[in-house]
Amino acid sequence: MQLEEIKKLFEEEKEKIQSLEDLEKLRQTFLGKKGLISQLFKELKNIDPALRKEFGQKINRLREEVENFIRQKREELQQQLLEEKLRSERVDITLPARIVPPLGSKHPISATIEEIVEIFKQMGFSVETGPEIEKEEYNFDKLNIPKEHPARDMQDTFYVNKPGYLLRTHTSPVQVRTMLKKQPPIQIIAPGRVYRRDDDPTHSPMFFQVEGLVVNENVNFANMMFVLREFLRRFFEAEVPVRFRPSYFPFTEPSAEVDIGCVICQGKGCRVCKGTGWLEVLGAGMVHPNVLQACGIDPDKYQGFAFGLGVDRFAMLKYGIDNIKLFYENDVRFLKQFSSL
Ligand code: FA5
């Protein structure tokens, strides 16, 4: 084919290009190894040497023309494709979002309190509450805690600006409040926040306790042991070994501290139970006659037992958490692990 014919053919063919595929075919037809322009170059050697240079220049010009066209057309077609894609994938920002916002879940301390309360409710207890800013009289005096007791020290207790008031150091003042407003039979628990000047991996300045109080005629220590053993069995969902150790609280006599066989090492001895195989989980005892008296209940007619447990400690044991601070830092990576509660 002659150069002029090839040129003419190119002019015709280039008008027909609709897509990148068409363009590629055009490239092969003219510029491919066996393409028309390559053929022309091969014919150069048969041309009269006097005309060869000029002919060569003509072919080069045609090749450049074809190359330029292909380059420009390719950009144009690619741009068109992009625009079409953008048009078809347009985001309608007026549509409601499809993303489900991350949902919060129950805090492990709340879940533990609910579980404890539910167990005691099933055992016939009702729930009482009291204020966190409490009268010193209810937190200490009426609980037979003498004025010189170290718990009253500023080192242990947070006092508030109002004289005679403090941030309650335990939930035991709810016992006082309950007995002051109601005569026996009493069978209550009192969950809530308490405050102490404490701060280490197992002690927090603010933590949670659940108080228990039973007052009636003929209430004895064995009743208390049964209730607490039964509660521990239900909470830990196992026959955990339980032992009662003699102890001292000003508001109970006799008093006991209750230990369970270490749930981490099953009593073999580990870091958590400090090698003893036992973990202290709550304090308990028979309500001191002075306390009954101070709250308007006849100690000759009635007896009672009381107990107080640290919710944080129970939650730590149940979920294998070794630092109480994790409960209060509100780190969602920690809290997310309890999303099934
Ligand atoms: C009391 O607070 C008594 N009121 C309990 C009681 C009630 C005894 C009724 C007898 C009759 P104690 O100071 O031991 O007792 O605290 C009870 C539990 O609270 C402890 O076993 C511990 O689990 C938890 N606890 C104490 N201090 C802290 C703290 N700073 N952070 C977290 N938990 C704590």
Pocket test for ligand 1, best of 109, 170, 232 (most atoms within 8 A of CB): 170
What average pLDDT does the chain have? 93
Q: Are residues 18 and 148 in the same domain?
A: no
Q: Does any ligand 1 atom lie closer than 6 A to the CB of residue 196? A: yes
List, as own/partner pairs, every contact residues 142-148 make where C-beta atoms lie below 8 angstroms and the sequence separation is at least 24, other chains included.
142/173, 142/176, 142/291, 142/294, 142/295, 143/172, 143/173, 143/175, 143/176, 143/250, 143/251, 143/291, 144/250, 144/251, 144/288, 144/290, 144/291, 144/294, 145/250, 145/251, 146/250
What is the residue with the minimal CA distance to atom 3 of ligand 1? 308
Note the pLDDT of residue 87.
87
* Residue-wise DSSP of 219-250: --HHHHHHHHHHHHHHHHTS---EEEEEEEET
Q: How much is the average pLDDT of 211-234?
A: 97
Query: Last residue of some domain: 54, 88, 122?
Result: 88
Residue 311 Cα to ligand 1 middle (Å)? 9
Q: Pick the most confident of 186-195, 272-281, 313-322, 323-332.
A: 186-195
Note the pLDDT of residue 120.
98
In a domain, 10, yes or no: yes
Query: Last residue of some domain: 29, 60, 88?
Result: 88
Residue 194 Cα to ligand 1 middle (Å)? 9
Q: Are residues 141 and 32 in the same domain?
A: no
Confidence of residue 341 (pLDDT cuts 50, 70, 90): confident
Q: What range defines the domain where residue 187 resides?
A: 108-338
Q: Pick the most confident of 24-38, 74-88, 123-137.
A: 123-137
What is the number of domains present in the chain? 2
Note the pLDDT of residue 103.
83
Confidence of residue 96 (pLDDT cuts 50, 70, 90): confident
Q: Are residues 164 and 66 in the same domain?
A: no
CATH number for the domain spanning 188: value is 3.30.930.10
Q: Are residues 326 and 229 in the same domain?
A: yes
Q: Pick the most confident of 145-149, 261-265, 299-303.
A: 299-303
Q: How much is the average pLDDT of 32-59?
A: 89
pLDDT digits (tens, 9 = 90+) for 172-206: 999 999 999 999 999 999 999 999 999 888 889 99
Q: How much is the average pLDDT of 258-281?
A: 87
Q: Pick the most confident of 2-6, 37-41, 164-168.
A: 164-168
Q: Does any ligand 1 atom lie closer than 6 A to the CB of residue 168? A: no
Q: Are residues 152 and 298 in the same domain?
A: yes
Q: Does any ligand 1 atom lie closer than 6 A to the CB of residue 306? A: yes
pLDDT digits (tens, 9 = 90+) for 155-181: 799 999 999 999 999 999 999 999 999
Q: Are residues 28 and 127 in the same domain?
A: no
In a domain, 93, yes or no: no
Q: Does any ligand 1 atom lie closer than 6 A to the CB of residue 172? A: yes
Q: How many whole angstroms separate alpha carbon 139 and alpha carbon 176?
A: 8
